[in-house]
């Protein structure tokens, strides 16, 4: 919806949802945080050894073939697929394209996949390092894990607040750097995976608490819906207004939005949530094709804009 407004219609075709459609990537990060962490934590909870080569091979098979196909199309037909001259292609192959990325370049929307792949690399490596330390004199507990997650969220909040001072106010002559230094910046977006990781932590290492939550699926659904609507309203009003990027939304908003989505993720896992009984026609097929659609939607928008 957001990219349709930006690249095709030039207006809010879908109403206020067009202006907050960019938050879909935040939900994407939360879901990835949960799915990847749950896969890793479930094995650890069963006492399985963590195999980094096996994990990385599985992730590569799930994400790389389609990515390489679309990337090849951009290499062969860069002008036809829209966008300005992209970063060097090795940046795409190494998933570092998002570093210093300028908006509007060809295949720029792959920035979020870069952040995803960096997360896929970091989380299992961090767990492997923790397991290695645990075999020595250092005793690591679940409390250390929660403390680390809180610290990472706090670090993201602080970093975005500092960068907002320089790039959040175009009137000061630095507004053009917001997308490169805040929006696309891995260090400013990594904390959005943490709420999803937290849901996986609860599910695998805090079973009594998790089971109590799962018995309150309708309450979780209501709380998540209210929280998400509140954050979307804040994003609509405060994200960019009066020629400035909103301070609160920039500093705290990304983290709070991710937490709101994480509550909905937890609700979706609850057998007692009545919303699980709802059926949306075509939703299963849309989910099946979502990754391919994500990779190819910008060229489609470019074609539509030229009609």
Q: What is the pLDDT of residue 143?
A: 92
pLDDT, residue 301, reads: 75
Quick check: 265 and 40 in contact, CB under 8 A?
no
Count helices and strands (H / E) in the chain: 16, 2
Q: What is the DSSP string of 234-257?
A: HHHHHSEETTEE-HHIIIIIHHHH
Residue 5's pLDDT band (boundaries 50, 70, 90)? low
Mean pLDDT, residues 44-64 taken together: 91
Q: What pLDDT sits at residue 8?
A: 61
Q: Is the pLDDT of residue 4 over 70?
A: no
Which pLDDT band, with edges at 50, 70 and 90, does 65 fall under?
very high
* Mean pLDDT, rounded, of the chain: 89
Q: Is 194 helix (H, G, I), strand (E, B) or coil?
A: helix
Residue 169's pLDDT is 82
The reported pLDDT for the residue numbered 6 is 62
Q: 196, 34 in Cβ contact below 8 A?
A: yes
The predicted structure's pLDDT at residue 9: 58
pLDDT band at 164 (very low <50, low <70, confident <90, very high): very high
pLDDT of amino acid 60: 94
* pTM to 2 decimal places: 0.92
Q: What is the 3-state secondary structure (H, E, C) of 199-234?
A: HHHHHHHCHHHHHHHHCCHHHHHHHHHHHHHHHHHH
- Mean pLDDT of the region 213-231: 96
CA distances from 285 to 117, 131, 303 (A): 24, 39, 24
- Report the pLDDT value the prediction gives residue 7, as an integer from 0 to 100: 61
Q: Which residues contact 26 (CB under 8 A, 6 or more apart)?
A: 192, 254, 257, 258, 261
Partners of residue 229 on adjacent β-strands: none
- Kindly report, residue by residue over 102-124, the tens digit of the pLDDT: 888 889 899 999 999 999 999 99
pLDDT of residue 240: 86
207 CB-contact burial (10 Å; exposed 0-12 / middle 13-18 / buried 19+) = exposed
Average pLDDT (184-213) is 97
Q: pLDDT over 90 for what percent of the chain?
A: 61
Residues 6+ apart with CB under 8 A from 102: 84, 108, 179, 180
Print the domain residue range for 24: 2-305
pLDDT over 70 (residue 156)? yes
- State the average pLDDT over residues 133-138: 72
Query: 240 with 246: CB under 8 angstroms?
Result: yes
Q: Which residues pair with 244 in a beta bridge?
A: 241
- Count the domains in the chain: 1
Give the separation between CA 266 and CA 185, rounded to whole angstroms. 27
pLDDT score for 57 = 94
């Amino acid at each position: 919806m957001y990219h349709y407004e930006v690249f095709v219609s030039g207006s809010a075709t879908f109403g206020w949802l067009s202006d907050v459609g960019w938050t879909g990537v935040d939900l994407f990060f939360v879901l990835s945080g949960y799915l990847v962490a749950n896969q890793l934590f479930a094995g650890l909870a069963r006492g399985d050894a963590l195999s980094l080569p096996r994990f990385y091979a599985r992730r590569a098979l799930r994400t790389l073939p389609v990515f390489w196909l679309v990337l090849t199309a951009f290499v062969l037909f860069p002008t036809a697929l829209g966008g300005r001259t992209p970063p060097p292609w090795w940046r795409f192959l190494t998933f570092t394209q998002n570093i210093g990325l300028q908006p509007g370049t060809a295949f720029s929307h792959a920035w979020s996949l870069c952040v995803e792949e960096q997360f896929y690399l970091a989380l299992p490596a961090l767990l492997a390092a923790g397991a290695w330390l645990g075999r020595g004199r250092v005793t690591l507990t679940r409390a250390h894990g929660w403390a680390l997650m809180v610290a990472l969220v706090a670090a993201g909040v602080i970093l975005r607040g500092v960068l907002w001072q320089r790039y959040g106010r175009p009137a000061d002559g630095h507004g053009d750097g917001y997308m490169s230094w805040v929006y696309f910046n891995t260090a400013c977006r990594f904390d959005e995976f943490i709420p999803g990781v937290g849901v996986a932590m609860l599910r695998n290492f805090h079973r009594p608490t998790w089971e109590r939550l799962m018995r309150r699926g309708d309450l979780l659904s209501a709380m998540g819906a209210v929280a998400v609507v509140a954050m979307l309203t804040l994003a609509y009003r405060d994200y960019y207004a009066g020629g400035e990027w909103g301070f609160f939304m920039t500093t705290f908003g990304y983290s709070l939005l991710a937490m709101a989505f994480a509550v909905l993720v937890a609700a979706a896992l609850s057998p007692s949530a009545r919303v699980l009984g709802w059926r949306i026609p075509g939703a299963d097929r849309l989910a099946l094709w979502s990754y391919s659609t994500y990779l190819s939607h910008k060229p489609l928008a470019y074609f539509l804009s030229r009609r």
